[in-house]
Structure 1
């Protein structure tokens, strides 16, 4: 799960979408306007973000609003923190060749 979240966030447009959704719930048209990307491109990225559990969709009439799932980012951050702590604590031995 953490690797999926990190892979999904590695894309600059998806990372920008996540940054925007951290501030407020937005619909696709807002995200198109804010990012300058095409609607189909934004929709495809939103699908990947939903599948990774990073955002959730909320239907509202004709529109669908998206909001960030903070726990998904907390889990990814905790995973990276644990790796950093492990590297810091390790003696960093070298394997013999």
Structure 2
């Protein structure tokens, strides 16, 4: 049995930065994503989860990559989840994380100039 712990926000999609200026509301919607990724630990966590075998990782899979405590790793994962970059699912005593590919694709389109 799986349990979704918190609702995940929908990530706003917008035109590439090079095509047209962002509106104030679009910028406000994107800032939390960029702030969440602006920390080196969270950026590495995002990369580790997204590239993990099967596309998902448990906190127990991520601890050894850092010289940080498990609660600190969990805090960083929570920030990524609340920003809408990770989905999470509780299975027994463990929480598994999966990258939200739609959020990543939206950021890539915004920064990389790939229109949608």
TMscore range, shorter length: 0.7 to 0.9
Instruction: State the alpha-carbon separation in 1 of the partners of residues 39 and 49 from structure 2.
Output: 15
**How far apart are residue 4 of structure 1 and its match?**
1.2
How many residues align? The count is 82
> Gaps (5+ residues) in structure 1?
83-97
Is 1:21 aligned with 2:52? no
| Misfit runs of 4+, over 4 Å | none
Name the Cα RMSD after superposition: 1.3
TM-score by length of 2: 0.65
| Structure holding more helix per residue | 1
Return the structure number with greater relative CO, CA threshold 8 A, min gap 6: 2
TM-score by length of 1: 0.76
> Gaps (5+ residues) in structure 2?
1-28
Is the radius of gyration larger for structure 1 or structure 2? 1
